[in-house]
Structure 1
Amino acid sequence: MPNSWGKFRKVRGMSGATASFDPRPRLLKVIRSHFAPFRFAAQKLADMASSTPRAAENWLSGQCAPGVPQLIELMASCDEIEREVMQLVEERRKAREEECPGSKSGSDASSG
């Protein structure tokens, strides 16, 4: 059964920007753009993600997104996917700073 991130619900105390954040469309777009041109794209994607061809077909069709272990495998295999994920992380950090000026990221706050 393919892994899905489920629906994101608004959480009390979170701003609209944070509560509605959904990285799946951008992640799936970069996965499709990288793998769709290949013959046997689902098999190649599955191999790189250490997953099944059926799960890879679901990612390519946009039905669901890879789980964390598969995403890490893809990031390790494909610079384009790694860059997109890191860009998403950086955008989230900036959004959090705008929501709560003066706050530190989790790694900075825990090092003190």
Structure 2
Amino acid sequence: MRKLLLGIALCGLGGCAMLPRGGGPAPGTELIGRSARLVTNNGQASTLRFEPRGRVRALFGKNEVAGRWWTANERLCFEWGGQARTRECWPYRTPFRRGQARGVTSDRGNRVQVTLL
């Protein structure tokens, strides 16, 4: 019950990070204040900046987009603003490690290589 209440409190702060079974750091904590480089199969690169309280900024060339991020059910999810809100989730079973590329495919079928910077 205590972990559930803590998880609800963290979610209320905007991060929606849930504690793993057995304790330890909440999923996604290694991302806060860090950036990740994403490269698509066709070579397009973008950079995500993970901010506190579940905020994220994506840089695509000269364009910048603000959104929200959270972790839940072994997934890392994003919601991007604008008139047509877009939500996309990616598998997230283990923390990202700085400098190590990881290939992931989203629930929308997008495949990228992610490297935590």
Which bracket does the TM-score occupy, shorter chain normalised? under 0.3
TM-score by length of 1: 0.27
Query: When you count helix as a share of all residues, which structure comes out higher?
Result: 1
Query: When you count strand as a share of all residues, which structure comes out higher?
Result: 2
- Larger Rg belongs to: 1
